[in-house]
Chains A and B, each alone.
Chain A
Amino acid sequence: GAGVSQSPSNKVTEKGKDVELRCDPISGHTALYWYRQSLGQGLEFLIYFQGNSAPDKSGLPSDRFSAERTGGSVSTLTIQRTQQEDSAVYLCASSLGGEDEQFFGPGTRLTVL
């Protein structure tokens, strides 16, 4: 079956602009996660959605970051007023929830000039 998909695969933006990154999870997976991977910080958790529960936003680095998940499926990560330190690969993963294994999408490489 289809895996996790993300778009765009690459995004170049100017400092101060807003960006939206999209994730389409594996069909039937109720849990969706966003992570980012940068050279200095490794792979870090950002936000977690489980079904209709309130999302766990504990990993978001600032209030410029937000995410939505519509209809329990597709998710959008929005970064407002982008900064150069936001440059990273943003990875989405999905799972059946709880402690189940997570499967990653191909990522979106964000470059802020």
Chain B
Amino acid sequence: QKEVEQNSGPLSVPEGAIASLNCTYSDRGSQSFFWYRQYSGKSPELIMFIYSNGDKEDGRFTAQLNKASQYVSLLIRDSQPSDSATYLCAVGSTLTFGKGTMLLVSP
């Protein structure tokens, strides 16, 4: 049984701070890792994907992957109130999702 674990939160950060979201996965053979953002009542929106160990940056977002530790994280710099949403970690080609971490950014 493939599993993806995330802290459900909520994670509360002030505007302008760095938000750090974490995820662990059970299937050591996983090759692809994704972060989706989901606003209430909306479908998941892809914000980052990563395939190789290390860091990948895109604007205010950085994804980090450590396959040895089976760990993937998402950093959001200069957090904005509009970043308040649930962040879903997903792994593999037929995505296995974590339950999501709710992020709250206060003005």
A, B bound: yes
Interface size on B, residues (CB 8 A): 22
Q: How far is the CA of A65 from the CA of B42 in the complex (A)?
A: 24
Q: Are A101 and B97 in contact (CB under 8 A)?
A: no
Interface size class of A (residues with CB under 8 A): 20 to 34
Distance, CA A101 to CA B35, complexed state (A): 10
Given contacts A42-B99, A43-B88, A99-B32, contact A104 B93 (CB under 8 A): no
Q: How far is the CA of A33 from the CA of B97 in the complex (A)?
A: 14
Q: How long is the Cα–Cα vector from A107 to B44 in the complex, in angstroms?
A: 10
Our pick among B31, B42, B44, B92 for the contact of A43 (Cβ within 8 Å) is: B44
State the main secondary structure of chain A at its contact with B: strand
Interface of B with A (CB < 8 Å)?
A: 31-32, 34, 36, 42-46, 49, 51, 88, 90, 92-100
Q: What are the 10 tightest A-B residue pairs by CB atom distance, in nearest-first order?
A: A99-B32, A43-B97, A104-B43, A42-B99, A45-B94, A101-B49, A107-B43, A104-B44, A48-B94, A99-B93
